[in-house]
Amino acid sequence: MSSLSSSLLALLRLMRPHQWLKNAFVFAGLVFSQNWQDGALDLRVVHAFAAFCCFSSMVYIINDWHDRASDALHPTKRKRPLASGAIAAPLALLLAAALLAAGVLLADGNRVLLLLLGAYVALNLAYSWRLKQVPVVDVSIIASGFMFRLLAGTLAVGIPPSRWLLLTGIFLTLFLGFCKRKAESFQEEASQRAVLAHYPAALLDTFIAATMTATLTTYSLFATSPEAQLQHGERLLYTVPVVIFCMLRYTYQVHRGRGEDVARDLLRDPWILAAGLTWLAIFLSRRL
């Protein structure tokens, strides 16, 4: 029984469910458009989120299968289920196929969503197998994955995407991508990621500062835009200082060597979590 439970746990680790936090971008359009009282629309967005969870886990499994030999020589990646031998390669591929089938079923014939999911898989495999070695292109592909999620929760389900929200999403995801590279540069195994040789510390700091500034500018413009004022009143305006704090705090954590795993590190800092709850409280308030 313990062997079965350990195998199931290894399969769960192989899927990396903590990374599903990134798929929360799918809900951005629903949250900001305030259409959550439409049950049919809510269901379509939930299905899009679940489909992205299936496809993203499938991509992680395929990448781990492809890199299992090199991962076995890596100081930390050798602990992954495939690299360590906890999961056999055929079983991992079977799980990937099951996730692919589940994701397609959850897409429910939505052509736009299927196109976004297909593009997400193609770009991520190209990134993992080759393009992660190309400076700037690597981070742009990471950012595009988040944009596919944002479009899946807007365009694919019939919610018109806000232009300012899309721009904010683009700059935010580029910011997170460059922060990831910055955090990786502090790690002992940094020399094993070849692309870091093309990212001097000063250049990464410039990219982080530029994308942070662009994110805060576009979010502020979104918060004060006529469409936001019509839907949310003054509430979004009061969230701007909270967003500024979150980005500054996250940048501080990155310079302490955190930020390599965005999903995990966002949940690790109690100040960022508290700021997130503050943002939510302001956004949900009705009298501002």
**pLDDT digit string, tens, across residues 63-119:** 889 888 887 877 777 888 888 888 888 999 999 999 999 999 999 889 999 999 999
> Is residue 207 within 8 Å of 215, Cβ to Cβ?
no
Rg of the chain taking only CA atoms, in angstroms: 20
Say which amino acid occupies 287. Answer: R
Q: Distance between CA 22 and CA 20 in Å, rounded?
A: 5
> Is residue 13 within 8 Å of 73, Cβ to Cβ?
no
Q: What's the confidence (pLDDT) of residue 1? A: 44
* pLDDT-above-90 percentage for the chain: 42
**Which residues neighbour 209 within 8 Å (Cβ) at sequence distance 6 or greater?**
none
Which has the minimum average pLDDT: 45-49, 73-77, 272-276? 73-77
C-alpha pair distances (Å), 183 with each of 109, 161, 187, 204 = 40, 32, 7, 10
Q: Is the CA virtual torsion 56, 58, 60, 62 positive or negative?
A: negative
The encoded tokens of residue 150 equal: 């944002």
Determine the average pLDDT of the residues in 223-242.
86
**pLDDT digit string, tens, across residues 242-271:** 999 999 999 998 888 765 667 677 778 899
Residue 197: CB atoms within 10 Å: 11
**pLDDT digit string, tens, across residues 165-198:** 889 989 999 998 899 888 888 775 545 567 888 8
**Which residues neighbour 52 within 8 Å (Cβ) at sequence distance 6 or greater?**
23, 26, 103, 117, 120, 149, 152
pLDDT higher for 5 or 20? 20
C-alpha pair distances (Å), 105 with each of 6, 98, 135 = 29, 11, 36
Which has the minimum average pLDDT: 6-15, 58-67, 88-97, 137-146? 6-15
Whether pLDDT at 280 is above 80: yes
- pTM of the complete model beyond 0.85: no
Q: What's the confidence (pLDDT) of residue 3? A: 66
Q: Distance between CA 179 and CA 60 in Å, rounded?
A: 21
Q: Distance between CA 117 and CA 48 in Å, rounded?
A: 9
